[in-house]
Amino acid sequence: MAGRKQIFVGRFISAPGPNDLLIQEGAVLVSSTDGHGIIEKTSWTAQNSKDALTEFGLSEKDVEVVEAHQNGFFFPGFIDTHIHAPQYPNVGIFGKSTLLDWLTTYTFPLEASIGDTGPAAETTSTTTTTTTNGAPSSPTNPQQPASKKRKLTPLPRAYKVYTKVVDRTLRNGTTTASYFATLSVPATNLLASIAHTRGQRAYIGRVCMDHPETCPDFYRDETPDQTIQHAIESIEYIQRLDPRGELLAPIVTPRFAPSCQAETLTRLGELALTRSLRVQTHISENKGEVELVSQLFPDRKNYTDVYDHAGLLTHRTILAHAIHLSNDEITTIAQRKSKISHCPASNSALGSGFCPVRKLLDAGLDVSLGTDVSGGYSVSILDSVRQTCLVSRQLGYVNGGEKRWNIGVTEGLWLATVGGARCVGMEDRLGGFEVGMLWDVQEVVLDEVDGDEDGDGKGQVDIFGWENWEERVDKWVWNGDDRNVRRVWVGGRLVHERG
Amino acid sequence: MAGRKQIFVGRFISAPGPNDLLIQEGAVLVSSTDGHGIIEKTSWTAQNSKDALTEFGLSEKDVEVVEAHQNGFFFPGFIDTHIHAPQYPNVGIFGKSTLLDWLTTYTFPLEASIGDTGPAAETTSTTTTTTTNGAPSSPTNPQQPASKKRKLTPLPRAYKVYTKVVDRTLRNGTTTASYFATLSVPATNLLASIAHTRGQRAYIGRVCMDHPETCPDFYRDETPDQTIQHAIESIEYIQRLDPRGELLAPIVTPRFAPSCQAETLTRLGELALTRSLRVQTHISENKGEVELVSQLFPDRKNYTDVYDHAGLLTHRTILAHAIHLSNDEITTIAQRKSKISHCPASNSALGSGFCPVRKLLDAGLDVSLGTDVSGGYSVSILDSVRQTCLVSRQLGYVNGGEKRWNIGVTEGLWLATVGGARCVGMEDRLGGFEVGMLWDVQEVVLDEVDGDEDGDGKGQVDIFGWENWEERVDKWVWNGDDRNVRRVWVGGRLVHERG
C-alpha cells in the first residue's frame, strides 16, 4: 500500500466542538504509507471528483476515487473507550443484578471460560494450526464462508467470541476500541491478532486481578509476580505485532482497585511508567463498590487516591464510569490529566447512578464514551450517544429541571469522536477531517422514504425529504443502526462494507 | 376467508404474568371467520405438524400449516397504547426542548401540515382518485412498487406519513395501536383507511383542541360545537369502515386538559358515554403542564379531577404518562378503572421525569406501554420495553437503591402485551395463546452466530448456542429490532413478512 492515494468526495459531517456540527461538501485527499492513511489535503470548494482531481493536481490514474452516497455522508469513526470483549456473549443478560453480584453471577464465569482450550461448543474441524501464543498462525478472513473459515484454534471459544465482537463493533462504525480482555494471556493475544488482522485500531488489555478476598479462586492470578509476568507477556506480544503501536497497542489493565492487591497496583503503575503505556481501569461506578474500596484500602483518602498512590493516574489513563466522585477526586483527576469513559447504557442497566458529565467537563476533564459491553447491552457507540442524551435529561430532571446538564446530539457525537480521540491521546490524529488526521471514517447513509418502498434492509431512519442535514443527523442518532453504516475505513483501509 | 383454518407449529413464548415467562412447544389451531382468526384449540404435546393434525383431527388439505423458524418463536403482538401518527416524521427531532415548548416548536406545525391539500413534496402522478372523505376510494397496497403505487390523494403528506407509520409499526411487531391523529377530519379518516387496509388493529382518534389561550390560531377548532361536530364526523366514518369495531374503532381524543375548553371536555365525556367509546388523552407528563392545568382549571382539585369532572375517566380511558400524580389522583384513577400508558422513551427524551410504574401497579392500575412517537424517538415497543427496564433501574437508584422498583424483561414484555390488552379492554382476546384469543402474533427469529457468518440482514442479536431460551429472550429485548420480526399476523391475517 506504499504511496497509495485516495480521494473521498461528497458530504463530510463532524462535531469538532460540543455545540458545533460541521457540515461540509468537498473532497479529501488521503495518502497511505504502510497502511497509515492520512489526510494530506482538503478542498471545501470541489463539487465533484473532477474538481477534486484538478484542485489536488492529480489525474485519475494516480488515485482511487470514493464518492459518498448522495443520501449519506462521511463521519469520523467512533471511539469506544471502554469495552469488555469477552463479555460480548452476555449482552442483555444481567437480570436484576447490580455491579458486584453481576460480576460474580454472570461475568467471571464467562470470562474464565474464554481461555478454555480443547473441545468446546464448536463445529468440527480438520485443520490444526497453532502458534506458541495461541494466535492463529496466519491472518484469517472472518468474511470467508463458514466452511472455509473453521480452523481448530486451541482457543475455540475465544476465537468465536473475539471474531464476532470485532466484526460487530466495526460494522457499527467503531474504528478504535479500548478492550478489556481476560486473565488468559493466549486468549488476550488472540484478540490482539484478530483486531489487527481485521484492521481495527485497538488497545488490548490483559486483565489483572489477584486479590484473594475479592476474586474467585477459579479466576485470579496467584501472586503479584504472576500478575506482572503475565501482563508483560501480553504487552510484548502485542508490541511485536505492531512495533509502531499506532494501530495496535497494549494497555495496562488492572480490573479495578478492589480486585488487585496494593503491591500489584503499584507495580502496574511502574510498568506503565517505565514502558510509556496507556492504562485503563474502572472507578467509582457503584456506591457499594466505593464502600468496598474504602474498606480494602483504609490508608487511602478515597478511591481516586488508591490509583494515584500507585502511580496509575497519568495522562494516558482511561477511567471508566466516574459516577460517584467527590469534588476532591475530580480535582485530582484533572491535575493528573487522566481521562473518563462515560458508559451510560451500562450505568442505567445496572442501576449504578447518573454520571455528572457536565460537571466533569466543567472541571476540565476529557470525557469520551464507552459501551461497557456487557454491563452495557449494546456494542454500538451510536446507542451510547443516545443514552448519553437521555441520561443527561434525566440528570437535569433530578436536579430540579436545570438545563445545564443537557447533552444534545452534537455534544454526544463530539464525545464519541473528539472526546474519544483526546482520551486515547490521539486528538491530533482522530476525530475530524483536518489535514494530518488519520482516515478513520464511517460512511453513513440515510434513505429517503420515496426510494425505500419495501423498507427492508435499509434501517429504521426515514427521511421524508424536507429535513435539513442537521435534522437528518438527529434522526440518525436516534434511530440509526449498523444498517446505516455503508463503509468503514481505518487508516485509509476499507475494513467493513455493508453486504 | 370464511371458515379458513391455520395450524401454527413450533415454540410459543409469552408473558402471562409479570414474573412468568411461559415457554411452550406445540401447536395452535386458528379458525378464521370474516378475517377474525381466533385460537380454537391448542396442543402442548404435538411435536410437529403431523402430530398437530392428528391431535386436532384434521387433514392437510383442510388447513394451512405455518411452522416457526427453528431459531425462533411465536410471541404475542405488541400493543402500543400511545402513538401520535402524524408526528412520525419528527422522530428524533426535539433538540433540547421540554414538553410545552416542544409542542409549539416542533409538533403543532407538523401536525397542522398533515391536513394540507394540493401540491406537496410528492412525486408526480397521473391518476386522480378522491372520495368525499379524503380517503383513497379503494384499498391500496403499500407493498406495491413505487411506480404502481402513486395515486394523487388530496392529502399527499398524510398519505405518505400514515402509510409509513403503519408499515413501520407493523414490521416492529405492533399488532394493535392507539393512534392520535390530528385536527383534520379527512386526514384522520385516511389514517383509519390505511390501518384498516393494512390490517393493523387500530384505534383512531381525531384530536380535539380548542382552547384559544393555549392552542395556536393556525391549529385549533374554533368552538366547542365545531370540536364535537368534527369528532363525530370522524367517529362515524370509522364505524362505517368496521361496523363491528373489533379491528378498527374510533377513540375520543381530547389532546390534553390544557388544550380544551371545559365545556368541550364535558361534551366529549358525554359523547364517549352515550356511544360507548374508548377515550385517550395525556395526564401529568410534566411539572410545568401540571401547574398550567391548576391555573386553567382553578375550580378542580387536581389534574385528574379535571377529567373526572368531565366524565372522561372511564374503564375505557387510556391516560398517557401519569408521572406526577398525587396519591389521591392514583386512587381516583383506580376507582374509575382508567388505564395508564407508560412512555419511558419520551419521558427520558423530554426530561419529563420518571413514571413510578411499580407504585401504579401496586395501586391496582392497569399499565401498558406506549412509544409516544415523536416525544418518543422510536416506533418500537420492544425499545419501550428496554426503556421501561432502564428507567425502573434509575428510579430504584433515585429511591436509595430499592429493588422493588425494578422491572425486568419478563415484566416489561407483560406490560407490552397483557398490559396493553387490559388497557384496551381486550384482555380476553389479546396478549397470549389461550383458546378464544385472537391470533395477533409476531414470529421472532434470533440467529445463531454459526449460521450467520456475514452478519448482514439478520439483526444485532448474536446467539452463541449455549444460551437457554430465557436468556435468548433477554438478548432479543436488549438488542432486537425489526430484523428479528419475520412475520406478523393480526386476527390470523398475515400483515407483514420480512423481505
Q: Is A453 within 8 Å of B353 when comparing Cβ atoms?
A: no
Which of A167, A378, A406 comes nearest B96 by C-beta?
A: A406
DSSP per-residue letters across B187-241? HHHHHHHHHHHHT-EEEEE-EE---TTTS-TTSS-SSHHHHHHHHHHHHHHHHHH
Residues of B in Cβ contact (< 8 Å) with A391: 348
pLDDT at B125 over 60: no
Look at residue A143 in the predicted model and tell me its pLDDT: 38
Q: Which of A399, A423, A447 is the last residue of a domain?
A: A423
B222/B224 Cα distance (integer angstroms): 7
The answer, for B354 touching chain A at a CB cutoff of 8 Å, is: yes
Q: Is residue A422 scored above 60 in pLDDT?
A: yes
A92 to chain B nearest CA, in Å? 5
Rounded average pLDDT over A402-429: 97
* Inter-residue contact A303 to A284 (CB < 8 Å): yes
State residue A131's pLDDT score. Answer: 34
State whether B474 and A93 contact (CB < 8 Å). Answer: yes
**Residue A151 contacts B, CB cutoff 8 Å:** no
Count of C-beta atoms within a 10 Å radius of residue B141: 9
pLDDT of residue A146: 38
CA B421, chain centre distance (Å): 10
Q: Are A355 and A288 in contact (CB under 8 A)?
A: no
A477:B96 CB<8 A: no
* Residues A55 and A191 placed together within one structural domain of the fold: no
pLDDT at B129 over 50: no
| Mean pLDDT, residues A30-47 taken together | 94
Chain B contact set for A143 (CB, 8 A): 453-454
Residue ending a domain, among B401, B423, B445, is B423
The helix/strand count (H/E) of chain B reads as: 17, 17
In angstroms, rounded to a whole number, what is the distance separating the alpha carbons of residues A18 and A214? 40
pTM (global) more than 0.80? yes
> For chain A, what percent of residues have pLDDT higher than 70?
91
B453–A contact, CB cutoff 8 A? yes
| Residue A193 and residue A147 share a domain | yes
**Domain that includes residue A113, residue range:** 78-423
A408 touches A470 (CB < 8 A): no
Q: What is the pLDDT of residue B97?
A: 78
pLDDT in tens, B356-400: 999 999 999 999 999 999 999 999 999 999 999 999 999 999 999
The shortest C-alpha distance from A18 to chain B (Å) reads 14
Q: What is the dihedral of CA B51, B55, B59, B61, to 10 degrees?
A: -80
pLDDT band at B1 (very low <50, low <70, confident <90, very high): very low
Query: Counting one residue from A and one from B, how many pairs have CB atoms under 8 Å apart?
Result: 166
Comparing A38-42, A75-79, A484-488, B3-7, which segment has the lowest mean pLDDT?
B3-7
Binary contact (B457, A499; C-beta < 8 A): yes
Predicted confidence band of residue A97 (pLDDT cuts 50, 70, 90): confident
Residue B2 has pLDDT above 70, yes or no: no
Kindly tell me if the per-residue pLDDT of B122 is higher than 80: no
pLDDT over 70 (residue B211): yes
Partner-chain residue, chosen from A146, A351, A465, that has the shortest CB–CB distance to B397: A351
The per-residue pLDDT for B99 is: 87
Q: What is the pLDDT of residue A1?
A: 43
Query: With contacts defined as CB-CB under 8 Å, which chain A residues touch B95?
Result: 408, 474
What is the grid cell recorded at B458?
A: 439478520
Is residue B351 less than 8 Å (CB to CB) from chain A?
yes
Task: Write the DSSP symbol of residue A430.
Answer: S
The residue of chain A nearest to residue B89, with distances taken between CA atoms, is: A464
B21 with B159, same domain: the answer is no
Residue A318 parent element (H or E): strand A317-321
What is the average per-residue pLDDT within B342-368? Answer: 97
Q: How far is the alpha carbon of B390 from chain A, nearest alpha carbon, in Å?
A: 5
CA-CA distance, B119 to B113, in Å (whole number)? 12
Question: Which residues in chain A have Cβ-Cβ distances shorter than 8 Å to B408?
Answer: 95-96
Gap between the Cα atoms of A384 and A372, Å rounded: 10
What pLDDT was estimated at residue B294?
98
Beta strands in A322-475, from DSSP E residues, in sequence order: 339-342, 366-369, 441-445
Query: Which residues sit opposite A66 in a β-bridge?
Result: A8
Mean pLDDT of B231-245: 97
A32 and A169 housed in the same domain: no
Strands (DSSP E) along B44-185, which ranges?
64-67, 72-76, 78-84, 174-180
Q: At what angle do helices A185-198 and A224-241 cross, to 10 degrees?
A: 20
**Interface contact flag, A401 B460, Cβ < 8 Å:** no
Cross-chain Cβ contact A401/B287 below 8 Å: yes
Residue A111: is its pLDDT beyond 70? yes
Instruction: Give A 264-303 residues with CB within 8 A of chain B.
Output: 287
Give the range among A3-7, A84-88, A205-209 with minimum mean pLDDT: A3-7
The four Cα atoms B149, B153, B157, B161 give a dihedral, to 10 degrees, of: -50
Residue B450: predicted pLDDT: 79
Which run of H or E residues covers position A317? strand A317-321
At B119, is the pLDDT very low, low, confident or very high (cuts 50, 70, 90)?
low
Instruction: Locate the chain B residue with the closest alpha carbon to A463.
Output: B89
Distance, in Å, from the CA atom of B112 to the CA atom of A158, rounded to the nearest integer, reads 56
Smallest Cβ distance to B351: which of A93, A386, A393?
A393
pLDDT of residue B149: 47
Residues A130 and A161 in one domain: yes
Taking an 8 Å cut-off on Cβ atoms, the answer to whether A167 and B143 are in contact is no
- pLDDT digits over B50-80, tens only? 999 999 999 999 999 999 999 999 999 999 9
Gap from B90 CA to chain A (nearest CA, Å): 8
For residue A455, what pLDDT band results from cuts at 50, 70 and 90?
A: low
C-alpha cell at position A408:
444534545
A46, A9 contact by CB (below 8 A): yes
Across residues B19-36, what is the average pLDDT? 94
Q: What is the pLDDT of residue A118?
A: 62
Q: What pLDDT is attached to residue B143? A: 38
Task: Determine contact: B475 vs chain A, CB below 8 A.
Answer: yes
Domain boundary among A374, A400, A423: A423
Residues B47 and B149 in one domain: no
A251 Cβ under 8 Å from any chain B Cβ:
no
d(CA B244, CA B213): 39
In chain A, residues with a C-beta closer than 8 Å to the C-beta of B398 are: 398
B72/B82 same-domain check = no
The reported pLDDT for the residue numbered A457 is 58
Predicted local distance difference test score (pLDDT) of residue B431: 98
Alpha helix segments (H runs only) across A199-343: 224-241, 262-274, 287-296, 303-309, 327-336
The reply to whether residue B450 touches residue A96, judged by beta carbons under 8 angstroms, is: no
Residue A438 backbone phi and psi in degrees, to 5: -70, 145
Residue A193 parent element (H or E): helix A185-198
β-bridge mates for residue A4, sequence order: A32
From B299's Cα to the closest Cα of chain A, the distance in A is 28
**Gap from A155 CA to chain B (nearest CA, Å):** 15
Q: How far apart are CA A392 and CA A344, in angstroms?
A: 9
For chain A, say whether B2 makes contact (Cβ under 8 Å).
no
Domain identity same for A365 and A409: yes
Report the alpha-carbon distance of residue B406 to residue A433 in Å, rounded: 44
Nearest CA in chain A to B479: A378
pLDDT band per the 50, 70, 90 thresholds, residue B152: low
Contact A464 B394 (CB under 8 A): no
| Statement: residue A396 has pLDDT above 60 | yes
CB atoms A146 and B398 under 8 Å = no
B300 and B237 belong to one structural domain? yes
- Provide the pLDDT for residue B98: 83
Which residues of chain B make contact with A450, given a CB cutoff of 8 A?
123, 146
Q: Which residues of B touch A91 (CB under 8 A)?
A: 462, 475, 478-479
The answer on A82 and A52 residing in a single domain is no
Domain of B398, CATH number, reads: 3.20.20.140
Residues A36 and A100 in one domain: no
Please indicate whether, in this complex, the C-beta atoms of A164 and B462 are within 8 angstroms of each other: yes
* A119 at interface of B, judged by CB pairs closer than 8 A: no
Position B158 scores a pLDDT of: 97
Cell of A418: 473528539
CATH number, domain of B47, equals: 2.30.40.10
Q: Taking a C-beta distance cutoff of 8 angstroms, is the pair A444, A72 a contact?
A: yes
Report phi then psi at A354, rounded to 5. Answer: -115, 115
Please indicate, yes or no, whether residues A227 and A91 belong to a single structural domain of this protein. Answer: yes
Count: domains in chain B: 2
Give residue-wise pLDDT tens across range B83-106.
999 999 999 998 777 888 889 988
Dig out the grid coordinates for A482 from the structure: 449498523
CB interface of A with B, residues 153-172, below 8 Å:
160-161, 164, 167-168, 171
CB A264 within 8 A of CB A307: no
Tell whether the model's pLDDT for residue A122 goes beyond 90: no
pLDDT of residue B96: 72
Question: In angstroms, rounded to a whole number, what is the distance separating the alpha carbons of residues A193 and B146?
Answer: 47
Q: Is B408 on the interface with A (CB under 8 A)?
A: yes
Query: What is the tens place of the pLDDT at every residue in A236-245?
Result: 999 999 999 9
